[in-house]
Chain A
Amino acid sequence: MADMDEGTPNDQEQNTGESAAQPTGPRKPGGLRGALASRGMRWGTATAVYVGVVAAALIGVNLVGAHIPTQWDLTFNHNLTLSAASRNIAAKVTHPVHIIAFERPGGTTGAKVSALLQQYQTASHGKITYQVVDPAANAALAVRYHIKSYDTVVLQSGSHTQTVSGSSLTTYSSSGQPQFNGEQPITNALLQLASPTQMTVDFLAGNGEPNTAGGQLPDAVLALKNQGYKVGALNLLTSHGVPSSVSALVVVDPTQDLPTSSVSALKKYAAGGGHLVFLLDPSTKNLKNLTGMLAGWGVKPQNDLVVDPSHSSQSPVFIVPKYGSSPITAPLQQANYATLLLGAQGLTLGKAPKGYTVTPVLTTYGGGSSSNPTSFGITNLSKLQTTGLHYTKGQDIPGPLTVAATVAGPSGKAQFRAVVIGNAGFIASAAPGQTQAPINIQGNRDLFLNSVGWATGRSQGITIRPRPSLNTQVFLTSGSTSALVDTFVLGVPLVCFLLAAGAWWTRRRL
């Protein structure tokens, strides 16, 4: 700006010898020619030209700048930056997809959606386009897509449409704090557009498992729904078998053993190329039917409590296992996300049936001495309270221990796939008073979704999910509220007024 006058008519006039000391002298009458030649007219013309040139330059800079996608996401966990997985999915879009976000003008959710949609567009190299529309101002468009509320996002590709409701863009923490989580449903809708067939994932019920239909495990259920799965519950005693429409059946920590009829139904489902995910905590009860079935596939739960003091968080039983070579954990390893399992049991990997493959997914660390191994499994759970978390040679199982494994086979079109994880608590939602849900810790959610994704064979489902937001809840007592009012509504303004009075008094005395 300091050089803004360089090359101005002022300089030009001084260069031509005209005196700046006579800028407003009387103009000689000379008609139009004289007027055009007058200093005022020349300055006016020059100013108009300058303003035009600078305006054009600024408009040009903005036109270019508006297409620069570079931005810095300063949010906690980069919640407004697309994950690599979503970018990959967007990059693989083959047919043009147009996204219409029906947003309230100036709304926060709309701005966040826009920020994401811009990144989808960039990642797709223009295959994905978007527009943000105020449904009140564009009623015809809103009616056409049956829009009933703000923050609804419609994805259209050819004749196929997918609608993301406003409620699915926001999740709520255990403390009730709303958290924008728009990436998951939008990416899922993109996946749905690519393969319109919706997969069904059922949770087994009737044997003391968490009642997902009754609202238990809400975060796990929502995570699956956000991945595009239709989620339900299945009681084998009433259904008399696993319906063929079920893409995967999730068995979460039954507290009672499975009846033989249920085991038979599961074996039949497995033989037909079924997909099963078992999440099993150690139990003091004898679940011989369930254990026997799993042992038949080469994975036998040890029913012990895994302890690893050197690779744990807060408690020796809150273990951080290491990843095996599996597509389930490969993205987690790549993104450097740990999984934390509280109260896991080990799995004994036996001989798999012919044509089947058993692969360890999560293991504890080996090492240490024979009397003090790095990790171990305490087998006597009933006496745990009295014996404590100490290794007893000859009784407990020394590490390394497998805590998750997969079974697959035989190779062919209808391949049976099962994931067995010796822990169920890692998909739990936050208990009252708990600041963070176990499923939201590090890569726990990813471990669950990747397991289901691998079991169903939906390779694109094996991804890193967006991270949850920071817990921003505030606890204010009446005392702290009063202190805030006193400081900010009274104190600071009063100080400023006193300074104003001081300034006024000083000037008055001068």
Chain B
Amino acid sequence: MGNFGKWWVVARREWQVAFQAPLAWVLLALWMFMGGRFFVGSLLGSRSTDLTPVFWNLAVLLIFIAPLLTMRLLAEERRNGSDELILTAPVSTGQWVLGKYIGVLFVWTMFAVVSLLFPLATSRFGAVQWGVVASSWLGMWLFGAATLSMGLFASSLTSNQVVAAMLSFAVVLLFYGSTWVPGHGLVGQLMTYISLPSQFNNFTLGLVSVSHLIYLVSLCVGFLFLAVRVVDLRRWT
């Protein structure tokens, strides 16, 4: 079995486990309930097919949903001691963590796909800017991918799922609200740059920038790398 097969097995198992448990469905129900309220409110309020506020609110909800989706991933394995089995399994830590991440990414992708019901329904009542919908959706998906990687990293730090969720929430909030702290000059620019909303904003306008893609993918890579190092460090110390 090649490298692809190894992490794929982990990912597939993670995805199946997620949907065999009620949590993912409950989160999807809450997400769509809140999204539905925003959606109807937006249509009635603005009388416009512009779904920018809806995608914004869906992304903001991820601050709360991503920690709950990821809290179990590595913390539960550690609590059960099943992570020790990785030592003897023919899979590297990187493949294992990547598999976990891809698994939860599938779950999130399903959430995101369901959210396309909003623009589809809107198109019945007026002209939809599908290009803007596509870029907003891509931005939201990347926003989710980044927050999930933060959650996975938080889950690698502890064996307690509740603590993992709180840590994850804190990390996501740090990147979400970096501009809440007033900063000038280079610090201000840095805070704006690392801010998830400022990176997400252009997507909702219909602009897909190479720089924003690079940043969000970098976040994913960075936190996945940290998660791998934490698991490795714990295993060998």
Does A4 lie within 8 Å of B19, measured CB to CB? no
Does B29 lie within 8 Å of A73, measured CB to CB? no
Decide if A241 is an interface residue (CB 8 Å cutoff): no
Decide if A65 is an interface residue (CB 8 Å cutoff): yes
Does B207 lie within 8 Å of A503, measured CB to CB? no
CB-defined contacts of B233 to chain A, threshold 8 Å:
43-44, 47
Decide if A10 is an interface residue (CB 8 Å cutoff): yes
Does A43 lie within 8 Å of B236, measured CB to CB? yes
CB-defined contacts of B193 to chain A, threshold 8 Å:
62, 66
With contacts A39-B236, A472-B48, A500-B25 known, is A70 near B209, CB below 8 A? yes
Does B94 lie within 8 Å of A3, measured CB to CB? yes
Q: Which of A48-56, A312-320, A351-359 contacts B (4 or more CB under 8 A)?
A: A48-56
Residue from B117, B207, B237 in contact with A80 in the complex, judged by beta carbons closer than 8 Å: B207
Does A474 lie within 8 Å of B48, measured CB to CB? yes
Residue from B93, B201, B214 in contact with A65 in the complex, judged by beta carbons closer than 8 Å: B214
Q: Give the CA-CA distance A193 to B50 in the complex, in Å.
A: 35
Decide if B135 is an interface residue (CB 8 Å cutoff): yes
Q: Give the CA-CA distance A8 to B225 in the complex, in Å.
A: 13
Q: Give the CA-CA distance A4 to B223 in the complex, in Å.
A: 13
A174 to chain B, nearest CB (A): 14
Residue from A5, A44, A55, A476 in contact with B93 in the complex, judged by beta carbons closer than 8 Å: A5
Contact with A along B26-39 (1 / 0, CB 8 A): 10111011011101
Q: Give the CA-CA distance A3 to B198 in the complex, in Å.
A: 32
Decide if A501 is an interface residue (CB 8 Å cutoff): yes
CB-defined contacts of A471 to chain B, threshold 8 Å:
126-127
A54 to chain B, nearest CB (A): 5
Does A68 lie within 8 Å of B210, measured CB to CB? yes
Contact with B along A486-504 (1 / 0, CB 8 A): 0111001110110111011
Decide if B122 is an interface residue (CB 8 Å cutoff): yes
Residue from A20, A68, A137, A504 in contact with B87 in the complex, judged by beta carbons closer than 8 Å: A20
Does B201 lie within 8 Å of A106, measured CB to CB? yes
CB-defined contacts of A62 to chain B, threshold 8 Å:
193, 211, 214-215, 218
Does B206 lie within 8 Å of A73, measured CB to CB? yes
Decide if A40 is an interface residue (CB 8 Å cutoff): yes
Q: Give the CA-CA distance A324 to B228 in the complex, in Å.
A: 68
Decide if B118 is an interface residue (CB 8 Å cutoff): yes
Q: Give the CA-CA distance A378 to B135 in the complex, in Å.
A: 51
Nearest opposing residue in chain A for B93, CB measure:
A5
Residue from B19, B39, B52, B128 in contact with A484 in the complex, judged by beta carbons closer than 8 Å: B39
With contacts A65-B215, A487-B121 known, is A473 near B126, CB below 8 A? yes
Residue from A2, A55, A497 in contact with B7 in the complex, judged by beta carbons closer than 8 Å: A2
Does B32 lie within 8 Å of A472, measured CB to CB? no
A236 to chain B, nearest CB (A): 44
Does A488 lie within 8 Å of B36, measured CB to CB? yes
A135 to chain B, nearest CB (A): 13
Does A2 lie within 8 Å of B39, measured CB to CB? no
Does B25 lie within 8 Å of A61, measured CB to CB? no
CB-defined contacts of B228 to chain A, threshold 8 Å:
1, 4-5
Does A47 lie within 8 Å of B229, measured CB to CB? yes
Nearest opposing residue in chain B for A487, CB measure:
B121
With contacts A75-B206, A484-B121 known, is A503 near B21, CB below 8 A? yes
A181 to chain B, nearest CB (A): 14
Contact with B along A79-92 (1 / 0, CB 8 A): 11000000000000
CB-defined contacts of B95 to chain A, threshold 8 Å:
1-2
Does B135 lie within 8 Å of A43, measured CB to CB? no
Does A66 lie within 8 Å of B211, measured CB to CB? yes
Does B207 lie within 8 Å of A473, measured CB to CB? no
CB-defined contacts of A501 to chain B, threshold 8 Å:
22
Does B207 lie within 8 Å of A73, measured CB to CB? yes
Contact with A along B43-83 (1 / 0, CB 8 A): 11001111010000000000000000000000000000000
Nearest opposing residue in chain B for A70, CB measure:
B210
CB-defined contacts of A5 to chain B, threshold 8 Å:
92-94, 228, 232
Nearest opposing residue in chain B for A112, CB measure:
B205
A62 to chain B, nearest CB (A): 6
Closest A-B pairs by Cβ, 8 of them? A74-B131, A488-B36, A4-B94, A496-B29, A65-B214, A500-B25, A75-B206, A40-B237
On B, residues with C-beta under 8 Å from A are: 3-4, 6-7, 19-23, 25-26, 28-30, 32-33, 35-37, 39-40, 43-44, 47-50, 52, 87, 92-95, 97-98, 114, 117-118, 121-122, 125-129, 131-132, 134-135, 179, 182, 184, 193, 197-198, 201-202, 204-211, 214-215, 218, 221-222, 224-226, 228-229, 232-233, 235-237
- List 24 A–B pairs whose Cβ atoms lie within 8 Å, in order of A's numbering: A2-B94, A5-B92, A5-B93, A8-B232, A39-B237, A40-B237, A47-B232, A47-B233, A58-B222, A70-B209, A72-B208, A74-B131, A75-B206, A80-B207, A111-B202, A111-B205, A484-B39, A487-B36, A488-B35, A493-B32, A497-B29, A503-B21, A503-B22, A507-B21
On A, residues with C-beta under 8 Å from B are: 1-5, 8-10, 20, 23-24, 39-40, 43-44, 47, 50-51, 54-55, 58, 61-62, 65-68, 70-76, 79-80, 105-106, 108, 111-112, 115, 137-138, 177, 470-476, 480-481, 484-485, 487-489, 492-494, 496-497, 499-501, 503-504, 506-507
